[in-house]
Amino acid sequence: MSFIQITVCCNTFTGFVKRIEMATKKGVSLHSKEKNMENIYDIKHISEYNTAFGVETFHPLVSVINLSEATPQNFDEVTRIRLGFYSISLKETHCGNIKYGRNYYDYQNGTIIFSAPEQILTVEPNMETQTNYKGMTLLFHQDILRGTALGHNIKNYSFFSYEVFEALHLSEQEKQTVLDCISKISIELKRPIDKHSKTLIVANIELLLGYCVRFYDRQFITRSDTNKDILIRFENLLNGYFEKEDLSEAGIPTVKYCADQLHLSANYLGDLIKKETGKSPLEHIQFKLINLAKEKIFDQSKTLSQIAYELGFKHTQHFSRLFKSETGYTPNEYRHLN
């Protein structure tokens, strides 16, 4: 199951669900007015989200919400919500617990959390939290990106697949830059839609995402001690796995397995390891696997098929292909070289 950071304050979200129920009682038609079979509130359209927050819809595919203008209401049950669009939320207050899977988000003032469509947020109400919410939320549907360069490249913004506790923590200057970008989008939304609207809105979304990439790179650098600790734990995890596990039974460790063991998302681990070492986690796994293969190849009593099986490969040709790509030799050629 994939867990990705979504948006806004705990009580704001619970108030959002409460608004859905109230809107249903008033006869407002919302796709999200009832939970689905998985006990999840599905919010498919931005207009539904706006209606629940009591804000005007200026554009069907994009919205900017000022959280200080929202009126959250208390709601006393754990709630799961799935959005059908992208969300970028700048939070400036601590407002209770937001959880993805087993993990809680360690947010601070001036933090951005992201979500892609179809991700699930679990909100745990905290009735003692303050009601003075501050922050901005940008929502945009993937349909507005169709036919644009950003639509083609949106998958490359890996922070949409980070978990909530891997959110982006901003300096004051960085926060102002983000607010400026969101403000430009908000101003454009309030203009009458014309032939330039989509181009300008998408351009400003792309500009905002570009700044977020820069700020995440800065965060990786400023948290270098934490990153080095994760790198050491990653290396120890791989060493322990290859020393203790029966690969024919356990299989080759995946990046997702390593990320789960380190309590990180696979994308975050990938970006962190790549920035620290210049190599991806998969390359680290394959390096250790090939080193183990080289040791086993010296054992002339075993066939290459047996060695491939012991290394967790289901097919010998997959093992041979990887070995040659990493060493320049087939396993048989390497055996005879030594």
Q: Which residue has the higher pLDDT, 333 or 54?
A: 333
pLDDT of residue 54: 81
pLDDT over 60 at 67, yes or no: yes
Name the burial class of residue 148, with classes exposed (0-12), middle (13-18) and buried (19+) by CB atoms within 10 angstroms of its CB. middle
- Number of Cβ within a 10 Å radius of residue 305: 12
pLDDT of residue 98: 45
Q: Which residue has the higher pLDDT, 135 or 330?
A: 330
Q: Would you say how long the chain is, in residues?
A: 338
Give residue 316's pLDDT band: very low, low, confident or very high (50, 70, 90).
Answer: very high
pLDDT of residue 70: 66
Q: Which residue has the higher pLDDT, 244 or 4?
A: 244
Pairing assessment for the beta strands 79-83 and 41-43 based on DSSP bridges: parallel
**CA–CA–CA angle 185, 141, 26 (5° rounding):** 100
pLDDT over 50 at 81, yes or no: yes
Nearest-angstrom CA–CA distance, 188 and 190: 5
pLDDT over 50 at 100, yes or no: no
pLDDT over 70 at 95, yes or no: no
Domains of the chain: 10-222 (2.60.120.280), 225-337 (1.10.10.60)
Give residue 59's pLDDT band: very low, low, confident or very high (50, 70, 90).
Answer: very high
pLDDT digits (tens, 9 = 90+) for 126-144: 544 445 567 899 999 999 9
Distances (CA, A) of 201 to 3, 59, 195, 292: 28, 11, 11, 52
Nearest-angstrom CA–CA distance, 83 and 41: 8
Instruction: Report CA 24 to chain centroid distance, whole Å.
Output: 32
Instruction: Report which of 285, 294, 296 is spatially closest to residue 323, judged by C-alpha positions.
Output: 294
pLDDT of residue 71: 62
Nearest-angstrom CA–CA distance, 199 and 197: 6
